């Protein structure tokens, strides 16, 4: 790495998005070009439970003159729900991190086959084979791939309808999965030299008590940040989690959670800035940012 870039609190950092390596629709190189064209000043690719696209994303970003942070989004089981933890600024070749993520991915294919069986029971045949056509990495087949197939096959009009009718708890095709523990997910990232962030906390629907427990345990395991401004947060939620960042002494992160030009409501680089009272996570990661030569 070279010396730290000139970044500040209002830099247009987008530290949460997905490529075809997990459940996005663009290759890492295309995402890098899109981020650059949208005015992103610091970028991280954060594919689900996977770092296989990191070198490609980094090489493409640096070739475009775009500073880059390594990233991933790890699925964690907490209080009966799936919580996502974003890791940033780690060594993406770290053997323990790579092995941990591989183990977390390991149950996805059997789960996907069970999901397809559940859909078949309500008359929707061929869902597993159909979803596979949308998967860049078969180890990461997910509900999103099933949803895209269900829309394109004419079973639903759009992805939101899919999740109203199928693939969620109590609906046909829903199958729970045992993800990583919070402790293990944070340990993998920290031992690889990275920093961890609670992703889009408003999405989990926790009670105040459950949310307090999440933040407390996260910090207890060395977690450092929380996404305040993200594609799924309202302005009011950004204010709420900005206040919680201050209350818990956490760094603030920012990311669009971009998946696809056709599906994502928030474009790369288009989010409002962090409130000025917060300390951005990227300022704590200056020495881990990869810079163009």
pLDDT digits (tens, 9 = 90+) for 11-58: 899 999 999 999 899 999 999 999 999 999 999 999 999 999 999 999
Question: pLDDT tens across 105-151, in order?
Answer: 877 888 899 999 999 999 999 999 999 999 877 778 889 899 999 99
- Please tell me whether the overall predicted TM-score, pTM, comes out greater than 0.75 for this model: yes
**Burial per residue of 77-92, b for 16 or more beta-carbon CB atoms within 10 angstroms, e otherwise:** bbeebebbbbbbbbbb
Strands (E), 52-124: 71-78, 81-88
Q: What is the pLDDT of residue 4?
A: 41
Q: What is the pLDDT of residue 207?
A: 95
How far are the Cα atoms of 79, 163, 214 from residue 207, in angstroms, in the given order? 10, 22, 11
pLDDT band at 178, cuts 50/70/90? confident
User: CA angle, 49 as apex, 152 and 115 as ends, to 5°?
Assistant: 45
Single out the residue of 264, 15, 25 nearest to residue 137, CA to CA. 25
Lowest mean pLDDT among 30-44, 87-101, 176-190, 215-229: 176-190
Helix/strand/coil percent split, the chain, to 5: 40, 15, 45
Q: Round to whole Å and give the CA distance between 25 and 132.
A: 13
For tokens 């009670």, name the residue: 207
């Amino acid at each position: 790495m070279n010396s730290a870039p000139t970044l500040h609190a209002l830099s247009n950092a987008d530290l949460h998005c997905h490529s075809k390596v997990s459940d996005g629709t663009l290759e890492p190189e295309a995402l890098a070009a899109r981020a650059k064209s949208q005015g992103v000043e610091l970028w991280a690719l954060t594919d689900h439970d996977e770092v296989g696209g990191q070198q490609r994303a980094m090489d493409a970003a640096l070739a475009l003159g775009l500073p880059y942070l390594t990233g991933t989004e790890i699925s964690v089981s907490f209080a009966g729900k799936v919580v996502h933890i974003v890791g940033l600024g780690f060594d993406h070749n770290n053997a323990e991190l790579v092995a941990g993520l591989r183990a977390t991915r390991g149950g996805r294919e059997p789960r996907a086959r069970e999901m397809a069986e559940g859909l078949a029971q309500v008359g929707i045949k061929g869902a597993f084979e159909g979803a596979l056509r949308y998967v860049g990495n078969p180890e990461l087949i997910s509900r999103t791939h099933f949803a895209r197939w269900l829309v394109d096959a004419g079973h639903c009009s759009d992805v939101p309808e899919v999740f109203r009718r199928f693939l969620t708890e109590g609906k046909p095709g829903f199958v729970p999965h045992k993800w990583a523990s919070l402790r293990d997910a944070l340990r993998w990232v920290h031992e690889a030299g990275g920093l961890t962030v609670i992703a889009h906390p408003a999405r989990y629907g926790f009670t105040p008590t459950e949310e307090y427990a999440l933040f407390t345990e996260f910090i207890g395991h060395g977690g450092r940040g929380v996404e305040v401004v993200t594609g799924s947060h309202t302005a009011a939620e950004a204010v709420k989690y900005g206040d919680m960042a201050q209350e818990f002494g956490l760094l603030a992160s920012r990311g669009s959670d971009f998946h696809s030009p056709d599906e994502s409501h928030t474009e790369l680089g288009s989010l409002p800035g962090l409130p000025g009272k917060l300390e951005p996570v990227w300022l704590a990661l200056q020495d881990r940012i990869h810079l163009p030569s």
